[in-house]
Amino acid sequence: MTSTVVYEGNLRTVCSHLKSGSQIQTDAPPDNQGKGERFSPTDLLATSLGACMMTIMGIKARDMEVDLTDTKIECEKIMAADPRRVSGINLTFSFPETLVVDEKTKEILERAAHTCPVIYSIHPDIVVNVTFNWNPATITLKV
């Protein structure tokens, strides 16, 4: 077993990772009768994609002796109605200004990010847009 989820009432859950004991709380978002004081489950979907892509990119970068420390990803989920679901995810990677890599390295790292298990697990109807803001160029890819 990986985790447990306990419902606390008032549309809030506590999710516990069994191996580490770390916890995440969720709330329903304000547009779905919640308080929006924590990540919503659908927020976690978009955030999970960003974290997974960064992790796989980080593994490849470490192998290449490239330091991606302080890389930031802005994650945006887009909701649709009828049925209520995530219809899109926009991820924007911003790399530190101190990071200097050549075009080949950028390409290798971007390809690595697109091999993460979460991206392969997302339904094909969900539109995923990924932007890599390398300094100074910006590259946008649609998946």
Q: How many domains does the chain have?
A: 2
115 in the same domain as 76: yes
108 in the same domain as 70: yes
Three-state DSSP at 11 gives coil
For residue 23, what are the domain limits? 3-32
45 in the same domain as 101: yes
Compute the distance between CA of residue 133 and CA of residue 140 in angstroms, rounded to an integer: 8
What contacts 24+ positions apart, CB below 8 Å, involve 81-86? 84/32, 86/42, 86/45, 86/46, 86/126
Distances 37 to 26, 46, 110 between C-alpha atoms, Å: 8, 17, 33
pLDDT over threshold 80, residue 136: no
Compute the distance between CA of residue 94 and CA of residue 96 in angstroms, rounded to an integer: 7
108 in the same domain as 57: yes
25 in the same domain as 61: no
pTM: 0.91
Cβ atoms within 10 A of the Cβ of 114, count?
15
Compute the distance between CA of residue 129 and CA of residue 92 in angstroms, rounded to an integer: 8
How confident is the model over 84-106, as pLDDT tens digits? 999 999 999 999 999 999 999 99
13 in the same domain as 65: no
The predicted pLDDT at position 137 comes to 52
10 in the same domain as 64: no
Average pLDDT over residues 59-82: 97
How confident is the model over 9-56, as pLDDT tens digits? 999 999 999 999 999 999 999 999 999 999 999 999 999 999 999 999
Are 71 and 59 within 8 A, CB to CB? no
Using the structure block, give the residue that is written with the tokens 């890819």: 141
22 in the same domain as 51: no
